[in-house]
Each structure stands twice: as C-alpha cells, then as structure tokens.
Amino acid sequence: MTPPQRDEERPIAALLAPDILALLDESPASVATEVEEMHPADLATVAEAMPRERVPEFLLALPAERAAELLSYLDEELRAELLEEMSPRQAADIVVEMTPDDRVDALEELDDDQAQEIIDELPEEERAETEQLRAYEPDTAGGLMTTEFVSVPQDISAEAALAAVRAAARGERHEAMYAIYITDAAGRLTGVLSLRELLAAPEGARLGDVAWSEVQTVQPTADRETVTRIVQDYDLVAVPVVNTLGRILGVVTVDDAFDAAQEEATEDAQKFGGMEALDEPYSQIGFWNMFKKRAGWLSLLFVGEMFTATALGAYQKEIDRATVLAIFLPLIVSSGGNSGSQGTSLLIRALALREVRLADWWRVAAREIATGLALGSLLAVIGFARIEAWQWMAFKGWSLGILPLGHDYGPNYHMVALTVALSLVGVVTFGTLVGSMLPFAMRRLGFDPASASAPFVATLVDVTGLIIYFQVALHLLLR
Amino acid sequence: MTPPQRDEERPIAALLAPDILALLDESPASVATEVEEMHPADLATVAEAMPRERVPEFLLALPAERAAELLSYLDEELRAELLEEMSPRQAADIVVEMTPDDRVDALEELDDDQAQEIIDELPEEERAETEQLRAYEPDTAGGLMTTEFVSVPQDISAEAALAAVRAAARGERHEAMYAIYITDAAGRLTGVLSLRELLAAPEGARLGDVAWSEVQTVQPTADRETVTRIVQDYDLVAVPVVNTLGRILGVVTVDDAFDAAQEEATEDAQKFGGMEALDEPYSQIGFWNMFKKRAGWLSLLFVGEMFTATALGAYQKEIDRATVLAIFLPLIVSSGGNSGSQGTSLLIRALALREVRLADWWRVAAREIATGLALGSLLAVIGFARIEAWQWMAFKGWSLGILPLGHDYGPNYHMVALTVALSLVGVVTFGTLVGSMLPFAMRRLGFDPASASAPFVATLVDVTGLIIYFQVALHLLLR
C-alpha cells in the first residue's frame, strides 16, 4: 500500500478511517489484523475521524488489549462517552488492560457512580491499585504515577536482576522498566540503575555495588511542576514516588511528565492571557463552561479598571481646561501596560523554570528599574518628536490630497510634548517595575505566578499611569 | 552523612560546594571519589555555587568523562567561558567525551574560530560527526539529534540483537538504546522495537518479525515543534531522523525533545508578553541585549498606539462638548484589550498543540463572536449599574467622612450610562473576535502565532475601540 499524501493539517492515520469502515462492513474479524502494526495514537486518530456512531463497533472488533491502548490515547470526552455507553462489565474488561495511571485518568472523567460500577467489576488486585491511585489529586506526583515498575532486592546479582526484568517484560503488566529500583530488606529504596547500566554490568556483579545510591525522588503530594522539573533537570526516564518511610509507591514516567509540563504551559498561557485555565482542550469545552472561565477575570479586571474612571473624575476640571490631555491618554496608559506585560511574561517563565529565585527579587527590581528608565526614555524621544512633527505639519498646512496632515495642539504645544515625554518615562518605568515584581508577589502570597496576567498588570498600571500623567501636566502644562 | 536540610529555593547539591572546596585544598585527588555517586546535574550545581575562579581547578580534578558530563549540564555562559580559558587540546580532551549533540551545543556558544581550534584537536571520527552535526540549524531535528544510536540488520535473531545492544552498553560511546532501529541490506530504516520488546522477544525469533514496521520519523530540517509533537503524541523514547533515501542519520531522544518543548513554551510566553524571545535565561542575558529584545516591539506598539492620538484628535470637538466622555475612555478601550488577550492566548496554545487547525477559523470566529457578545453584555450591565449608582450617591450627597462618594456625570447621565454600556458590547465583541483571529492570521502569513501578543492585540483593538465609543456617543449622547 502506498502511503497517503502527507497533509500538515491532517494526520495520515485519519485518512485510513474510510478503509477501516469498509472493512468493518465486509469482514469485521479482519479489522484487528489490518491495524495490527498501527501505533495506538494512530488507532485513536482513526477512531476520532470515523462517524461517531460507528466507534463502539470498531472498538469491539479489536482485542481488549488494543482497545485499551486506543482508549489511552483517545480524546477524553469521547472516551468518557464510550465507557458510559458500555455495560460496566464490558468497560471493566477493557480498562483492566490499561496501565494503572491511564485507567485512573479514564475513570476520572466519569460520574463517581459509574466509575465505581466499573471498578467493582475489576479483579481484586486491579481494583485495589485503582482505588489507591484514585485517592491522590490528579495534578500531584501520586496522581501522575503508575504502580507498575520494576524493583529488585539489593543483594541479588546483576544477572538475576536482568532475568527478573526479562520476566517482567514478557509478563502481562506494563511495567516501566528503563529505570530499575533497588530496595533493602525493609523494602526501602536504596538505589537505582538504568536498564542500560544493568545490561552493561560485569558478570556476577552484586546489584547494590553497580547501582547509584543517590536517587532523585518525590513525595506523592509533590505538585506537577516539581515532578516535571526533576525529570527534566536530571534527564530521567522515570522519577520514583516514595512515602515518608522511604518505600516506593510508584513512578512517574518521562512521557507523563512531558504531558504534564505541556498542560502546565498551556494553563500558564491561559492565565497570563487573563482567564482561568480551561481543564479541557479549546475544541471540546462547552460554551457556558468557557464563558464562566473568561467572565470571572474579565469582570474583575473591569471593576479594577473602573478606578480609572474614578481618577479621571477627579481630574475632570483639568480635562475641561485642556482637552488636549485626553488625546494622549490611551497612548500613555497603554505604554505602561505594554512594558508591564513584558516584565511579567519574562519573570513568570524565569520563576517557573527556576532561573531566578524568590530571594532574587531585589536584584531583579534594580535591573528592571534601569531597563524601564531606558525604555521609557526611548519612547519619550519618539513621543516628543511625533508631537513636534505633527504640530509643524499643521503649521505648514501640509495635506495628502484633501486629508490635512498633522494636528494643532494649541499654543502650548511645546509643553504638551514635554508633558507626554516626561510622563512616558515615569509610566514605563513604573509599569516595568510593577510587571516584573507582580509574579514574585504572587508566588510569595502562595498563588501561581502565572496568575499575574498581562491584563491584570495593565489594569494595575493604568490608574497609576494616568495619575502620573495628570501630575506631570499640573506641574508643566497647567501651571 | 546526614542529608542537608532541604531548601525549596536552593538545591541540596549547591550546599556541598564548600565541602568540595575544602577537599580541593587538602587532597585534590580524592575529589573524584567524593563526587562519584553524584548526578552530573548536581555536579553542575556544585560548580555554579563555588567561587568562579576555583571552577577550572575543580573541573581538572575530575576524570575527563565526569568533567564532560558536568559541562553538559552547566550554565551555557559559564561553560563557554571555561572552554575558552582552556587550551584547545585540554578542551578537546573533555568535549570528546560528551555525546555528539551535547558537544555541538557546547561548541555552538564559542566563537567560530575557537570552536574550530577545538574541533581540529578531536580524533578523526569525532571530528567528522561534529562537523556533520554543526551543519544543521540548532532548532531543527538535525540540530537536536545525536548520532549515537543502535541499529541492527533485520535478518539477525533477537538474541544476536540483544548481544549487540549489550556490547554497545559496555562500549565507550553513549548510544541512545531504548529504541532499537532495524535496517535492510541497503541501510534503510525498516522497523523499530523498544528495548523492552527486545527483552521480551521469544528465543530464536527473527528480528524483522518481532519489530514494528511503521516507524514515526522526521526529516533533518523538521522544526523543533514538529519533533516535540511527535515524541509527545506517540510517547516515544526517541524519534529517528531520516534522509530522503530512508537512511537514519541520528535520533532525537525524549529528554532533548522535552527541553526543546520547554524552550519553545518559554519563547512563546515571551513573544505573547510583547517582546522578542530571549535566547538566554533571564539571569544570564546582558542589559543591552535584553533592552534590544524589548525595545523593538515596545517602540512598534507605541507607534501603533499613536493612532489613538490621531483618532482622538479627530474627536477633539466632541470631547470639548462632553468631557465626561474622556472619563470612561481607558475603561472602554482596556476592556477590548483584555477580552482580546483572552482570545489570543487561548488560540495560540490551541494552534500550537493542534487542538484546532487553520481550516477551523470560521468555526472559531462564530463561537468567539457569540462569546464576545455574552461577555460584552455582562460588562455592559456592570458598567451601566456603576454609573447609575455613582450618580445616585452624588445626588444623595453620600460621603465617607470628608470623602464625597459618587460622581455627578451631568444632566444626561442616563445617556452617558447607555453610551458606555452599548460601547462595551461592541468593543468586547470586536476585541474577542480580533484577538482570536490574529493567531490564525499569523500562522496563515507564515509567522509564529505566538507573535500575536497581548499588547499587539490591545493596540489593534484600542483604536477601533475608541472609534466605536465615539460613534455610539455621537448617536446617543451628542445628538
């Protein structure tokens, strides 16, 4: 079969959906053979591309193990629907074949009652491990870990350990086995070695002697960010989750840490955009659910921004005296917001990746004040030149066809230009400082630094920005 | 030794730096033994924590292989400095021990001349592979891959393949070996199996029969985003990079894909914050370098925002007639910017993770218009109530001590409230639509959707926002 044309937008696997539907009609039994070599991620893409009502049929034509793999990669909402449509018995026969962590993720999406019905149909061992894992919060190490891993006693030989790993590889369970954990007689984690190191171990070596005794571990309550940072910093294939007694409860594998890091980045981006993080992909979330996630912050920001109306109300006399001030109002307040947004986005990420620490705040503040002054001066020069140039064009009566060019800012135009320029220096420096300090303040107060969103910073800076502007105007223009 | 107290902010390894300095003074030879069990990431942390001038000493006290591992994890700037201080011969002795991809990354940071001097000191084989890898752009599959991987002919037995893997594990090179690639007589990639599957293969099985024939691959020119998406979607330990003849050039391992994804997310966050992506961590970039990265976009946004001054100049007559309009100006334009920022951050991430495709733009547009109308109506109700309430408090003469409450918006205050409310519906709907469509437009024009920053959207929306506001005012308030 020649491979279908690659389409950047549409995965190849989706193009196979019609072929497989035709096969389902003609010889359902051969479907399993046809898709034997397909990666489960592609199987899931095929299922997502076929008409919704034919998916259950397709799923049932596959062996339980393949159906389980498919479900692990399937769109969460579709997976929940399919499991709800099956009898608890049918669902249990499939989910029992999933790795414990994927099984818990799949059940997580269902009503508690329905999940419990399926769990009740599981064999004893799988039921126990599923209920144990369900007790952890989904975004913690405990919620991300799988309980299928390979651990061996420290006093056996490397050859015996390799035999144990091979037996596990041939078994029914899906152990994470690229890191092998070593335990003492009390079952406490005392070492680790990679499968590569095990294969390289000299004949007859005692395992405890070839393993690494320093093991990076996490507590089951550790948050997702901690888990992904350790996996990334140490280039681990898996990080073991240990309890306070030093016994290993499970492992978080690198693929799950990778997924968790991507989810974290998405949620941070959404928060930085000024909304609550969605817990579902954009294409799947319902209208009102999305509305709620956006309306909360938007209303709060709106209420915050109302202080600009209060402040401007207090300056209404000044505006009456020089309406020219109103003309540059959006320009000045937005410059504060923009420079604040730069500082915030920089420091949210720097804090998330631990490039800077909380204790570095004053060093960052000093640097950002200097940067703010430099950036503010740059904008001040541009702003001053713009006003003088427009005034000059208006004097000269320049025009482009019937469109007059320039603008007459009144007899005090030099003072107008100077007011705008000096305000810009103040507003940009203030914006930069507030924007860069807000993520620190958030973390210090126990919030996610990413909650310091661009709109939040803009709102904070807007009120102060216009106060700076009118104070400068009172001293220069309105003396 | 009791483990030092864990400090969230400061890695344990850093606390060991004074111990190791003491040992360097007393018995330099024993330093290597002392740090034998340390993970190279921790070794790097120790080096970063000690006084800068003592680092070369520390590095030279370690065996070349450990020094190479340390350098792989070290802060990029410090690594470049250290390599520049050594003689090319000394540097070559260390970098030859690095994996080819890490070696190229380390040399990337040096002047071309200095890098070439070190490369010239490498043994023939390493020199050739280093020069080959240096030819690829750093952010492509070719630039991310290592050339050390395990491939075996398809017609050997599984046992023979395992023997080859064990020999590789015991060898000097650092092959990625959790995925084993199968090639035909012409050297073309024909299959893959995981090390786990190889260990589980039945005795005497022919390798070609137990391997998977469908292999996910990338071209050497594939961008970083494509590579990380494939590794993540298929939960791979490595993705092979193949040329047009189907021959495998190297592999990108999951740890490097993970790092690349985190860098990509950081750069996207910085761009979304309205600046150029930094190519170095915040704590390492120089002042003027950082200034340049921020000044470009900030000036551009400032120039764009000047159109608000132009538009307001055109409405100066209207402001003269009703200065009350100026009071609500920042409130209204910022609401457009905030709702636009929400839409943009949502769609940038949804596009990056392929949750929505370019062709979905009209579906997204329809949905965002509906969301914008709903959000705008919500803000309109809040805004209307706020103005009526303040007016009422001013009528009643309420005050808090000496602070008068409320504000008198003049005899037409109902019309003022209505103007603000209707403008909000228009501005928020428009902002939401523009914000959500901008990432699509960016991708369509071949730019990174993340360049559609929050400040960019705010600037785009501000001018239109105030035009909407004054047009509504002309029809209601200023009739």
User: At which of A107, A135, A163 does a domain end?
Assistant: A135
CB atoms within 10 A of CB A444: 12
Asked if residue A362 has pLDDT above 70, the reply is yes
Asked if residue A251 has pLDDT above 60, the reply is yes
Asked if residue B350 has pLDDT above 80, the reply is yes
- What CATH number does residue B251 fall under? 3.10.580.10
DSSP, res B219:
-
- Indicate whether A99 belongs to any domain: yes
User: At which of B266, B283, B309 does a domain end?
Assistant: B266
Using a CB-CB cut-off of 8 Å, the residues of chain B touching A165 are 199
Using a CB-CB cut-off of 8 Å, the residues of chain B touching A180 are none
Cβ distance A270 to B345 less than 8 Å, yes or no, reads yes
CA atoms of B161 and A348, how far apart (whole Å): 47
Which residue on chain B is closest to A320 by alpha carbon? B323
Tens digits of residue pLDDT in B137-194: 989 999 999 999 999 999 999 999 999 999 999 987 778 889 999 999 998 999 999 9
Q: How confident is the model at residue B82 (pLDDT cuts 50, 70, 90)?
A: very high
- Indicate whether A377 belongs to any domain: yes
Alpha-carbon gap: A267 to the closest alpha carbon of chain B (Å): 9
User: If phi over 0 gives left and psi between -120 and 50 gives alpha, with beta otherwise, what is residue A416?
Assistant: alpha
Q: At what angle do helices A361-396 and A413-444 cross, to 10 degrees?
A: 160
Residue with tokens 């740090």: B35
In this structure, are A254 and A309 located in the same domain? no
**pLDDT mean over B362-374:** 94
Strands (E) across B117-210 are located at 149-153, 176-183, 189-194
Using a CB-CB cut-off of 8 Å, the residues of chain B touching A295 are 374-375, 378
- Indicate whether A472 belongs to any domain: yes
Which residue on chain B is closest to A178 by alpha carbon? B178
Give kind and range of the element (H or E) at residue B142. Answer: helix B141-144
pLDDT at B1: 37
**pLDDT mean over B85-92:** 93
Bigger pLDDT: B284 vs A186: A186
The domain of B245 spans: 149-266
**pLDDT mean over B207-211:** 89
Of the partner residues A261, A273, A338, the one whose CB lies closest to the CB of residue B346: A273
In this structure, are A312 and A406 located in the same domain? yes
CA atoms of A286 and B128, how far apart (whole Å): 55
CA atoms of B325 and A312, how far apart (whole Å): 10
In this structure, are B302 and B437 located in the same domain? yes
Cβ distance B269 to A345 less than 8 Å, yes or no, reads yes
Q: What's the pTM? A: 0.86
In this structure, are B459 and B344 located in the same domain? yes
Cβ distance A309 to B295 less than 8 Å, yes or no, reads no
pLDDT at B369: 95
Residue A146 pairs in a beta bridge with A251
Tens digits of residue pLDDT in B439-462: 999 999 988 888 888 888 988 899
CA atoms of B123 and B173, how far apart (whole Å): 14
**pLDDT mean over B249-274:** 91
Tally the domains of chain B. 3
Which residue on chain A is closest to B253 by alpha carbon? A235
User: At which of A111, A135, A159 does a domain end?
Assistant: A135
Tens digits of residue pLDDT in A116-129: 999 999 999 999 99
CA atoms of B120 and B427, how far apart (whole Å): 63
pLDDT at B469: 94
CA atoms of B30 and B63, how far apart (whole Å): 11
CA atoms of A342 and A225, how far apart (whole Å): 23
Tens digits of residue pLDDT in A397-456: 888 877 778 888 888 889 999 999 999 999 999 999 999 999 999 999 988 888 888 888
CA atoms of B309 and B463, how far apart (whole Å): 9
Asked if residue A248 has pLDDT above 50, the reply is yes
Of the partner residues B37, B200, B349, the one whose CB lies closest to the CB of residue A212: B37
Which residue on chain A is closest to B196 by alpha carbon? A169
In this structure, are A427 and A338 located in the same domain? yes
Q: How far is CA A164 from CA A157, A171, A198, A212, in A?
A: 11, 10, 11, 19
Q: How far is CA B123 from CA B37, B88, B97, B232, in A?
A: 29, 13, 11, 36
Of the partner residues B290, B345, B382, the one whose CB lies closest to the CB of residue A273: B345
**pLDDT mean over A172-193:** 90
Residue A404 pairs in a beta bridge with A399
- What CATH number does residue B31 fall under? 1.25.60.10
pLDDT at B191: 94
In this structure, are B43 and B71 located in the same domain? yes
Q: How far is CA B420 from CA B327, B379, B417, in A?
A: 11, 10, 5
Alpha-carbon gap: A348 to the closest alpha carbon of chain B (Å): 9
pLDDT at A9: 56
**pLDDT mean over A52-63:** 92
A254's CB contacts (< 8 A; 6+ apart) are: A231, A236, A237, A238, B237, B254, B255, B258
Side-chain-side CA neighbours of residue B13 (13 Å): 21
In this structure, are A100 and A23 located in the same domain? yes
Of the partner residues A42, A273, A312, the one whose CB lies closest to the CB of residue B344: A273
pLDDT at A10: 62
Query: Coil, strand, or helix at residue A194?
Result: strand
pLDDT at A5: 42
Cβ distance A308 to B334 less than 8 Å, yes or no, reads yes
Give kind and range of the element (H or E) at residue B421. Answer: helix B413-444
- Indicate whether B127 belongs to any domain: yes
Q: At what angle do helices B64-73 and B40-49 cross, to 10 degrees?
A: 80
**pLDDT mean over A200-208:** 88
Chain-centre distance for alpha carbon A90: 34
In this structure, are A333 and A427 located in the same domain? yes
CA atoms of B81 and B69, how far apart (whole Å): 17
pLDDT at A143: 94
DSSP, res A23:
H
Q: How confident is the model at residue B422 (pLDDT cuts 50, 70, 90)?
A: very high
Q: How far is CA B157 from CA A270, A338, B162, in A?
A: 51, 63, 9
B135's CB contacts (< 8 A; 6+ apart) are: B142
Residue B192 pairs in a beta bridge with B181, B212
Least confident of A2-6, B170-174, B241-245: A2-6
Of the partner residues B41, B319, B358, the one whose CB lies closest to the CB of residue A234: B41
Token pair of B144, please?
């991310």
- Indicate whether B141 belongs to any domain: no
Percent of chain B with pLDDT over 90: 59
pLDDT at A280: 80
DSSP, res A156:
S
Contacts A–B by Cβ distance under 8 A: 369
pLDDT at B91: 94
Side-chain-side CA neighbours of residue B296 (13 Å): 12
In this structure, are B53 and B166 located in the same domain? no
- Indicate whether B285 belongs to any domain: no
- Indicate whether B142 belongs to any domain: no
Q: How confident is the model at residue A217 (pLDDT cuts 50, 70, 90)?
A: very high
CA atoms of B48 and B44, how far apart (whole Å): 6
What DSSP assignment string belongs to A28-45? GGGHHHHTTTS-HHHHHH
Using a CB-CB cut-off of 8 Å, the residues of chain A touching B374 are 291, 295
Query: Coil, strand, or helix at residue B171?
Result: coil
- Indicate whether B415 belongs to any domain: yes
Token pair of A291, please?
């509305």
Chain-centre distance for alpha carbon A322: 48
Tens digits of residue pLDDT in A270-281: 888 888 888 788
In this structure, are A172 and A31 located in the same domain? no
Cβ distance B258 to A254 less than 8 Å, yes or no, reads yes
pLDDT at B9: 56
Percent of chain A with pLDDT over 70: 98
pLDDT at B68: 95
Query: Coil, strand, or helix at residue A370?
Result: helix
Tens digits of residue pLDDT in A292-335: 989 998 899 999 888 898 888 888 888 888 888 889 999 999 99
Token pair of B197, please?
């599957």
pLDDT at A340: 93
Asked if residue B311 has pLDDT above 60, the reply is yes
In this structure, are B359 and B454 located in the same domain? yes
Q: How many separate helices (H) and strands (E) can be counted in chain A?
A: 24, 7
CA atoms of B101 and B80, how far apart (whole Å): 16
Asked if residue A135 has pLDDT above 80, the reply is yes
Q: How confident is the model at residue A8 (pLDDT cuts 50, 70, 90)?
A: low
In this structure, are B202 and B350 located in the same domain? no
Token pair of B351, please?
């596009």
CA atoms of B302 and A155, how far apart (whole Å): 69
CA atoms of B343 and B457, how far apart (whole Å): 10
Average pLDDT, chain B: 90
Of the partner residues A235, A262, A333, the one whose CB lies closest to the CB of residue B330: A333
Using a CB-CB cut-off of 8 Å, the residues of chain A touching B324 are 316
- What CATH number does residue B353 fall under? 1.10.357.20
**pLDDT mean over A28-38:** 86
Single-letter amino acid code for the residue at B279: D
What DSSP assignment string belongs to A232-296? HHTT-SEEEEE-TTSBEEEEEEHHHHHHHHHHHHHHHHHHHTTSPPPSS-TTTS-HHHHHHHHHH
Q: How confident is the model at residue B3 (pLDDT cuts 50, 70, 90)?
A: very low
Token pair of B125, please?
């084989």
pLDDT at B394: 86
Token pair of A34, please?
């046809």
